[in-house]
Structure 1
C-alpha cells in the first residue's frame, strides 16, 4: 500500500484500540504458572486447565463470526472484550482452584469473540490488492503493543502474578470503551437464505480446510511459546517472568524488521517458498530455545523465531478473505481461526507432558522438528507447481477460483503473492 493510500479511518481506529488492548494482553502465558504457584496444582493439572481454556475458544471463535453477522461487528467486539475483563478479574480474585478453573473457561468462551469481526472489518474495508498489507499492519500493531506488554509482565510478574490479570482486564475495558465510542454502528441485514448458506459453506470449502490444517500445525508451535515458555524457564532455574522479556524481544523484532519484508526479493517470493523460509526461521529459533542457557542467547532465539512469524501472518488472513464469498469473510475467518483454539487445547497438554517427562530440550527440539516438516511440505508444493505448467503459471486472479485439493489451496496463495509483487505493494507479514 503506497503512502498516498492511507488506511480507512475505521481500520486505523481498530488498530489503535488493539494496541491499547495488547498493552495488557500478557496474562495468558502465566495462567499455568499462577495455577501451580498459588493453588498448588501439578503440571498435569495446570496443563488440563489451560487445555480447557483452549477448548472453550473454539465455540467462542465460531460464535464471534455468527454474532458479527447477527448483532453487528462493533457490538460483538465490545461484548467479547467485556467478557474477557470479567473472566480475568475472576481469575485474579480466585481463592480456590475451582474458581480459577471457572474463570479460565469463561475467559476462553469470551476470548475469541473479538477476532472474526475485527478481521472482517479489516478485510472488507480495504481494496483486495491491499489486504496482505493491511493484515500485516494489524500484526505489527499487536507487536508494538506487545513490546510494552512484555515489559509490564516482567515488572508485575515479579511482584504478584494476579496483577497481570487485573491489568489485562483494565486494558480490555479501555479497548471496549474506545471501540464503542469510535467505531460506527453497523446494522447487519436480517438473516436470509443466502446467509444461512454462507454459514455452512466454509465447512464445505476444501481449500479453506486445507489451509486450516497447515494453520493448525503452525498455531500449535506458536502456542507452545505462549503457554509453555514461562514453565520451561522455571524448570531451567530462571524466573518465569523472564518470559516477558522474550516476548518483548520478539515483538520488537516484528516491528523493526518490517522494512525487510518490503525488499523486492521478499515480495516476489511465492507463498509456499515464503512459508518454507518462515518455518526454517521458526526451527532455528526453537533450536536456540533448546540449547540456550543464558538470557542473551534466549533473547536472540526469540528474535530469530519472530522473523518466521513475520512471514506467516499477513498472507494467511488475506488468503482466507480472498477465498470467502461476498459477505462471508467473517464466517470464513472464524472457521480458519479455530486453528488457534485447537492449538490452545493441545499445546498445554503436550507441552506440560513433554516438560514433565523429557525436559525443556526435548520440548523445543520436537517443535523445531515439526517446523522442518512443515517447511518440507511447503517446498513440495513449490516443486509440484514447477512441474505443472498449467498450475505453475496461474494468473493472479486465479487464486480466487474454487480449489479442490490441498496443493491447489496453497497454489492459490502462490498466485496471490505473485499478484502482490506485480502490483508494487509493500508487503509485510
Structure 2
C-alpha cells in the first residue's frame, strides 16, 4: 500500500463541515413516509411528492454550478445550506398536504446548490493523483456523519418523523457557520477566463454525456434504496424506522472500507473495470435485499452493496473533473450531478409503483439486473482518464478571509 499524502487544509475543513451537515441528513429518506403518515395520503401520492422534490433538485444543481463558477464556492455553499434549513423547518411544521408539497419543492430548489461548489473545491485543490482518494474520502465524510444520523433516525423516527427534519435543519445551519468561518474566500472566475471556456460546453461533450447516462442509471438504483426502503420494510415484517439501522451499516462500511481504495490491485484497475466491479457488488447487495426477510440479512446485504458505492464515488467524480476544462469544473460537476435530480424524480414514482404492484422481491431484483447491465456498459463505453488529454488545471486563487 503506497504512503498516504496529506490532503490540503481547505479539503480537510470541507470534509469536517460535511460530517456536521450529514449528522442530521437522514430526513429525506423519510419524506415519503412523513407525507403518507402525517397527511393521510396513499403510497402513490407520497411518491409523487417525493418526485416533485427530486424534479426541483435538477435546476438547483445547475444553479449551484453556475453560481460556484461566478460568485464563488464558499458563498454558494452557505446560501444552499441556509435555504435547506429554512425549508426543512417549514416542512416539519406543515399542517396540510398542500404546504408540505410547497416546502418539499422549495427544499429541492435549495438542496443541491452546495454540491457542485463542494466537489469543485476538492477537484481543484488536490493533484490528479489524489483525486480518487479525495472524492472517496468526501463520500466517507458523508458516511461518517451518516452513522450517527442513522442512529438518530432510528431513535427519533419511532417518536415523530418531523423531528428528523428539525435535526437536519440544525445541522445545515451548523455546517453553514463552519464553512463561513473556516474556509477562505475564493475569487469568482474572471470574465475573460470564463469566455475562454465557452468553446467547450458540458452538454456538447460526448464523453461527459456518456458518463451522465450511466451515472443517472446508478443514481436511480441508489435512490430506490434510499427512498423506498422505509416503505418496503413493513412489507417484509420490519418497522420502517429500521431503515435507519440499514443506512448506518451502509455508512459504517463506507468508512471502514476506505483502505480498499489504496490497495495496489484496486489502484491498478482502469476506471471502466473499477466501475464494472462496483456494479456487480451492488447487484449482489440488491439480490440480498430481494431474498432477505430478517434484519441481520438485510444489514449484510447493505454492507456488500456499500463496497460497490465506495468504488464508484471516488472514480466517477475524479473522471468528471478530468473531463472539465480549466475553470469549468463547477459547471461540469453540476451537469453530471443532475443525474441525482433525475433519479430523485423517477425513483419515488417507479419504486412505489413496483412496490405496490409486484412487491419487494421484484423491486430489488429489477434493480440488481440493471446493475449487471451497467457493469457491461461501463466496460464498453466509459472513457479512461489517461485518454482524455486535458491540460493541467490551475489551482483556484484564494485570498485570506478578513471579513
Relative to the length of structure 1, the TM-score reads 0.88
Contact (CA 8 Å) 1:86, 1:169: kept in 2 or not? yes
Contact (CA 8 Å) 1:24, 1:169: kept in 2 or not? yes
Task: Name the counterpart of 1:398.
Answer: 387
Task: Name the counterpart of 2:44.
Answer: 44
Aligned length: 391
- 1:221 corresponds to 2:210: no
Task: Name the counterpart of 2:366.
Answer: 366
- 1:13 corresponds to 2:9: no
Contact (CA 8 Å) 2:56, 2:105: kept in 1 or not? yes
Distance in 1, matches of 2:326 and 2:200, equals 14
Contact (CA 8 Å) 2:60, 2:110: kept in 1 or not? yes
- 1:101 corresponds to 2:90: no
Distance in 2, matches of 1:229 and 1:199, equals 44
Q: Which moved more, 1:127-136 or 1:372-381?
A: 372-381
Q: Report the secondary structure of 1:159's partner residue.
A: coil
Task: Name the counterpart of 1:350.
Answer: 350
Task: Name the counterpart of 2:181.
Answer: 181
Contact (CA 8 Å) 2:210, 2:381: kept in 1 or not? no
**Aligned in 2, Cα 1:47/1:320: closer, same or farther, shift over 3 Å?**
same
**Aligned in 2, Cα 1:267/1:189: closer, same or farther, shift over 3 Å?**
closer
Distance in 2, matches of 1:199 and 1:75, equals 27
Task: Name the counterpart of 1:267.
Answer: 267
Distance in 1, matches of 2:336 and 2:165, equals 28
Q: What 5-or-longer segments of structure 1 have no aligned partner?
A: 383-390, 403-429
Deviation, 1:6, is 1.5
C-alpha offsets along residues 151-182 of structure 1, whole Å, 9 cap, x if unaligned? 11001100110000000000000000000111
Following superposition of structure 1 onto structure 2, how do residues 16-27 of structure 1 map, counting pairs within 5 Å? 16-27=16-27
Distance in 2, matches of 1:321 and 1:380, equals 21
Q: Report the secondary structure of 2:5's partner residue.
A: coil
**Aligned in 2, Cα 1:197/1:126: closer, same or farther, shift over 3 Å?**
closer
What root-mean-square deviation, in Å, do the aligned CA atoms of Structure 1 and Structure 2 show?
Answer: 1.9
Distance in 2, matches of 1:196 and 1:107, equals 34
Distance in 2, matches of 1:267 and 1:91, equals 44
Contact (CA 8 Å) 1:199, 1:331: kept in 2 or not? no
Distance in 2, matches of 1:48 and 1:356, equals 14
Distance in 2, matches of 1:130 and 1:202, equals 24
Q: Which moved more, 1:369-378 or 1:217-226?
A: 369-378
Task: Name the counterpart of 1:298.
Answer: 298
C-alpha offsets along residues 75-101 of structure 1, whole Å, 9 cap, x if unaligned? 100000000001100110000001110
Distance in 2, matches of 1:199 and 1:98, equals 44
Distance in 1, matches of 2:140 and 2:242, equals 22
Q: Report the secondary structure of 2:185's partner residue.
A: coil
Task: Name the counterpart of 2:396.
Answer: none
Following superposition of structure 1 onto structure 2, how do residues 152-171 of structure 1 map, counting pairs within 5 Å? 152-171=152-171
Q: Which moved more, 1:68-77 or 1:103-112?
A: 68-77
Contact (CA 8 Å) 1:198, 1:331: kept in 2 or not? no
Deviation, 1:277, is 1.1
Task: Name the counterpart of 2:255.
Answer: 255
**Aligned in 2, Cα 1:110/1:239: closer, same or farther, shift over 3 Å?**
same
Task: Name the counterpart of 1:315.
Answer: 315
Contact (CA 8 Å) 2:261, 2:267: kept in 1 or not? yes
Deviation, 1:378, is 2.6
C-alpha offsets along residues 351-386 of structure 1, whole Å, 9 cap, x if unaligned? 00001111111110110110111112234459xxxx
Contact (CA 8 Å) 2:81, 2:175: kept in 1 or not? yes
- 1:377 corresponds to 2:377: yes
C-alpha offsets along residues 374-404 of structure 1, whole Å, 9 cap, x if unaligned? 112234459xxxxxxxx9xx9x7433359xx
Task: Name the counterpart of 2:394.
Answer: none
**Aligned in 2, Cα 1:96/1:381: closer, same or farther, shift over 3 Å?**
closer
Relative to the length of structure 2, the TM-score reads 0.93
Deviation, 1:190, is 4.7
Deviation, 1:103, is 1.0
List, as ranges, runs of 4+ consecutive aligned residues in structure 1 with deviation greater than 6 Å: none
Task: Name the counterpart of 1:63.
Answer: 63
Deviation, 1:3, is 5.2
Deviation, 1:139, is 0.9
Distance in 2, matches of 1:335 and 1:189, equals 18
Distance in 2, matches of 1:168 and 1:195, equals 39
Q: What 5-or-longer segments of structure 2 have no aligned partner?
A: 392-403
